[in-house]
């Protein structure tokens, strides 16, 4: 095909001075916190929560519990159709990159890229394609090819020189456990990841991430009250160091405590058989203020944005490219 596809990666620090760019996917954890009158206070508190959680998990050689801090970068991937600098550029995904600062040793340690996962195209698939397909149907079903384009774009990104020049390892995505699935505690324990949970039903999210070449495991770290879902390529426990994994846990558990307190800031921990619920009432709120309605509303708006600006304008080229990358 004549249409050329390229990726561009850029990053900005996520600190208390962070201000979202105009083209930032504004339902992301970081952008949502950084808006409104409480933005600086929100950011400062969230970053402090991340540091505190990291030091609570990294207790060895850390008697005062302040050895480490976590620095975050927002990594934005854009898809360019046409010649670089002359074609149309579209925001594809946003993730977080962690860097661990060891104050005692005076060194900086590369962390994991991924963590949070935000995608306009995923918004389009889940907020536009899926509802339209099931409108008027008595039984829920998944449209043919659901998630294929997104998966092909993601795996192409990981294979690209653009990605490999910047990052040493594949990403790990950490999200909430599903409220539509039941999890069973196992006897498997990891010194950092904690106790492993299993659920064998699979989910639509599992299917979607599977098309991105990722599999999932569920762990509840020490001091947590609910398991987190970790999506990864390769071997989650062997490919990443304990400090790398702690960076992801501390970052994403903090965001989940803020945005899903019913699950991750509950006043009782998950038992041997566990089903998360957003209707749970026995939980505590963090002292961070944000617009909860905005987060649920904007996914549809952003899905329609990518439909109008990318899908409708470039459908033929996208479908041809996706088909050529299906293998």
Q: Average pLDDT for residues 85-105, to the nearest whole number?
A: 86
Separation CA 295–CA 110 (nearest Å):
30
pLDDT digits (tens, 9 = 90+) for 255-314: 999 989 999 999 999 999 999 999 989 999 988 876 666 556 667 777 888 888 888 888
Q: Which tokens hold the place of 224?
A: 């947590």
**Domains in the chain: boundaries:** 5-324
| Residue whose C-alpha is closest to residue 324's, from 88, 316, 91, 130 | 316
SS3 call for 18: coil
Q: What percent of the chain is modeled with pLDDT above 90?
A: 65
| CA–CA gap between residue 103 and residue 98 (Å, rounded) | 16
Instruction: Categorize the per-residue pLDDT at 8 as very low, low, confident or very high, splitting at 50, 70 and 90.
Output: very high
Region 32-61: what's the mean pLDDT?
87
For the chain, how big is the Rg over CA atoms in Å? 20
Query: What does the mean pLDDT of the chain come to?
Result: 88
Residue 310: closest CA among 128, 164, 114: 128
Lowest mean pLDDT, pick from 160-174, 175-189, 263-277, 300-314:
300-314
Beta carbons of 242 and 190 less than 8 angstroms apart = no
pTM above the 0.75 mark?
A: yes
The span from the CA of 325 to the CA of 177, in Å, is: 30
Residue 202's pLDDT band (cuts 50, 70, 90): confident
Question: How many CA atoms does the CB half-sphere of 308 hold within 13 Å?
Answer: 6
Q: What is the pLDDT of residue 32?
A: 65
Q: Which tokens belong to 118?
A: 């935000």
The mean-pLDDT minimum among 63-72, 87-96, 148-157, 318-327 falls in: 318-327
């Amino acid at each position: 095909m004549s249409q050329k596809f390229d990726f561009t990666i850029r990053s900005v620090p996520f600190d208390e001075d962070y201000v979202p760019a105009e083209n930032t996917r504004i339902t992301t954890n970081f952008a949502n916190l950084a808006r409104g009158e409480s933005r600086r206070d929100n950011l400062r508190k969230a970053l402090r929560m991340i540091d505190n959680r990291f030091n609570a998990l990294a207790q060895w050689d850390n008697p005062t519990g302040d050895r480490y801090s976590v620095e975050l970068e927002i990594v934005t991937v854009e898809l360019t159709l046409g010649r670089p600098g002359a074609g149309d550029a579209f925001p594809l995904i946003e993730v977080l990159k962690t860097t661990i600062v060891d104050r005692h040793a005076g060194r900086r340690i590369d962390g994991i890229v991924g963590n949070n996962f935000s995608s306009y195209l995923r918004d389009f698939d889940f907020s536009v394609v899926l509802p339209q397909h099931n409108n008027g149907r008595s039984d829920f079903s998944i449209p043919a090819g659901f998630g294929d384009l997104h998966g092909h774009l993601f795996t192409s990104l990981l294979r690209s020189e653009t990605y490999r020049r910047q990052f040493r390892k594949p990403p790990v995505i950490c999200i909430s456990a599903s409220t539509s699935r039941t999890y069973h505690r196992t006897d498997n324990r990891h010194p950092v990841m904690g106790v492993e949970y299993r659920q064998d039903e699979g989910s639509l999210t599992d299917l979607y991430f599977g098309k991105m070449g990722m599999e999932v495991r569920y762990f509840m770290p020490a001091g947590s009250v609910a398991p987190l879902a970790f999506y990864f390529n390769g071997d989650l426990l062997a490919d990443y160091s304990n400090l790398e994994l702690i960076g992801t846990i501390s970052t994403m558990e903090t965001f989940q405590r803020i945005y899903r307190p019913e699950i991750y800031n509950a006043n009782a921990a998950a038992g041997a058989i566990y089903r998360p619920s957003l209707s749970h009432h026995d939980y505590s709120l963090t002292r961070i203020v944000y617009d909860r309605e905005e987060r649920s509303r904007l996914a549809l708006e952003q899905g329609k944005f990518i439909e109008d600006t990318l899908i409708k304008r470039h459908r033929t080229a996208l479908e041809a490219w996706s088909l050529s990358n299906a293998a």
